[in-house]
Structure 1
Amino acid sequence: MYGICNLSIVPLRLEPTDLSEMVNQLVFGEHFTVLEKFKKWSKIKLSYDGYEGYIDNKQYENISEELYHQLNNQEQYYSGELIDFIFDKDNNLTTVPLGARLPFYKDNSFSLNDKTFSYEGKVNHGILNKQSIVETAYHFLNVPYLWGGKTPFGIDCSGFTQTVYKLCGFKLLRDASEQATQGDVLSFIEESEPGDLAFFDNEEGTITHVGIVMNDYNIIHAHGKVRIDKLDHSGIYNTDTQQHTHKLRVIKKIV
């Protein structure tokens, strides 16, 4: 079985209950495999990054296997506005956040199952240059931190980097520890360029944080909110508290 998210933002939970923690989110247009289906919940696996969790059965539409594979092989178009509206043929409105997928987009319209929608906002499509990574990251500045979030209404550190890279045409895995397995290691911070990823670990050596390198040894990352701090050989230096908050582990060049 297969499904697609037909609502603006839907929580993906660790366990099949509304009381369980949100570990990720689906945004409009994301499709997935249904691994198990229960009375109220489905265990799913996202096509984009393979992430698994539980979603409420009332918060998605079933799609055919044929459509699932078409979506996998189709060029991807994403909403480029922080928040915008889509309209169906009866002029019913649905809000979509930055990064929502627009399946089969062409000439300001797209389709989801047998429904056609119009969308007149900015569209992100194709592979952009590396400088676009930092430019896109600025759109999320001051967005509040939210565990499992990946939208302008709340985002976590790896949701931030994944979404920014996605909008620029590059694929990252979901969690910081997974993203750290991608790309090439840089030996020194001086080798880094704007758009590279910096990873940080805890006292046990587990990678728990990630941010995007900027010019002049700055970094943009989600910590309390999406913010800009200084990056040095020790890690992140918080410009508000005047202290280091994260210990640098490695810098990776993805692009």
Structure 2
Amino acid sequence: MNHGICGLSAVPVRAEPTDRAELVTELLFGECYTVLQTQGSWLRMEAAADNYLGWIDAKQHQPVSPSYFAAWRAQDHPRVLDVVQVVSSAERRQPITLGCRLPFFDGMTLQLGDDNPLFFNGTATNLAQCSLPERQLVVLRKMGQQFLKAPYVWGGKNIFGVDCSGLTQTLFGLVGMQLPRDARQQIALGEPVDFVTQAQPGDLAFFDNADGAIVHVGLVLDDGFILHASGEVRLDPLDHHGIFDRERQKYSHKLRLIKRLL
């Protein structure tokens, strides 16, 4: 079985093997995957972190050895905390963004597949502190603010285009928690919070449509506000009805459930 790693800042993952197909998610730099099928110049892959399925352009595929893939899966990897940073070598220099993984990072270099090491001189998560609840909340608050005004892009996971569940998945990844990709999957995690007045910063709030399907998720922050991606990443008031859009003076999303993961 063939494996690969995302060697670009982000690689689009599509529902069908064509550039015209729906963007269902993205692979971010440093993220491994398994190739399941080849069709023309497209590869059907399964993301190693969240088991999401989709098609990537073979030109954006960077193969890795089975031993590298196994080692990658066996441990957590630090994440980038800068909005934009650079990894480099004597022959290579490229941008990466907030939330990207730094495989096998030793404080100076990382190992992207079986290539030569790449240098990274930016800020990264401290894996030893990821399990500390007080540190987790600090990171969620601070990094959530960095995403403000990022444009909404269906299927996006990076700071230059992100959807609601891509935002929460990326933010929780910064505190060492791997969430499923979609809001309807994320709602299965954590413990229910009975009343919105009992919600705490770091909780996830979920919202449904008229048919009762979960269609939106956001991160509860301080003072009754929620960080979520709707048109752009924004902060809006949250109450027992849902999210209130102050610009349009109406509720934009109907609250279904709040879950506590931290």
| TM-score, with length taken from structure 1 | 0.97
Partners of 2:226 and 2:101 in 1: how far apart?
Answer: 27
Aligned partner letter, 1:107? G
Q: How many residues matched? A: 254
User: Is the partner of 2:111 in helix, strand or coil?
Assistant: strand
Query: Which string of whole-angstrom CA distances, capped at 9 and with x for unpartnered residues, describes residues 17-58 of structure 1?
Result: 011011101111110111112330111010111100000111
Per residue, is there more strand in 1 or in 2? Answer: 1
CA positional deviation for 1:239? 1.4
Does 2:181 correspond to 1:180? no
User: Is the partner of 1:129 in helix, strand or coil?
Assistant: helix
Partners of 1:101 and 1:251 in 2: how far apart?
Answer: 28
Aligned partner letter, 1:211? G
Q: Is the 8 A contact 2:82 2:98 kept in 1?
A: yes
Partners of 1:152 and 1:114 in 2: how far apart?
Answer: 27
Alignment-derived partner of residue 135 in structure 1: 142
Aligned partner letter, 2:3? Y
User: Is the partner of 1:115 in helix, strand or coil?
Assistant: coil
Aligned pair partner of 1:157 in 154, 157, 164: 164
Partners of 2:110 and 2:240 in 1: how far apart?
Answer: 47
Q: How does 1:52-201 map to 2 (within 5 A)?
A: 52-90=53-91, 92-112=92-112, 113-126=114-127, 127=130, 128-201=135-208
Between 1:9-18 and 1:76-85, the stretch displaced more is 76-85
Between 1:194-203 and 1:123-132, the stretch displaced more is 123-132
Partners of 2:182 and 2:9 in 1: how far apart?
Answer: 22
Partners of 2:5 and 2:25 in 1: how far apart?
Answer: 15
Aligned pair partner of 1:204 in 203, 211, 224: 211
| TM-score, with length taken from structure 2 | 0.94
Partners of 1:211 and 1:6 in 2: how far apart?
Answer: 29
CA positional deviation for 1:73? 1.1
CA positional deviation for 1:114? 2.3
Partners of 2:126 and 2:57 in 1: how far apart?
Answer: 30
Q: How does 1:37-56 map to 2 (within 5 A)?
A: 37-56=38-57
CA positional deviation for 1:214? 1.0
CA positional deviation for 1:131? 3.5
Does 2:42 correspond to 1:35? no
Alignment-derived partner of residue 226 in structure 2: 219
Q: Is the 8 A contact 1:196 1:212 kept in 2?
A: yes
Alignment-derived partner of residue 2 in structure 1: 3
Q: Is the 8 A contact 2:81 2:143 kept in 1?
A: no
Q: Is the 8 A contact 1:131 1:195 kept in 2?
A: no
CA positional deviation for 1:107? 2.8
Q: Is the 8 A contact 1:158 1:175 kept in 2?
A: yes
Aligned pair partner of 1:252 in 249, 252, 259: 259
Structure 2 portions without partners, runs of 5+: none
Aligned pair partner of 1:242 in 249, 252, 255: 249
CA positional deviation for 1:133? 1.4
RMSD: 1.0
Alignment-derived partner of residue 233 in structure 1: 240
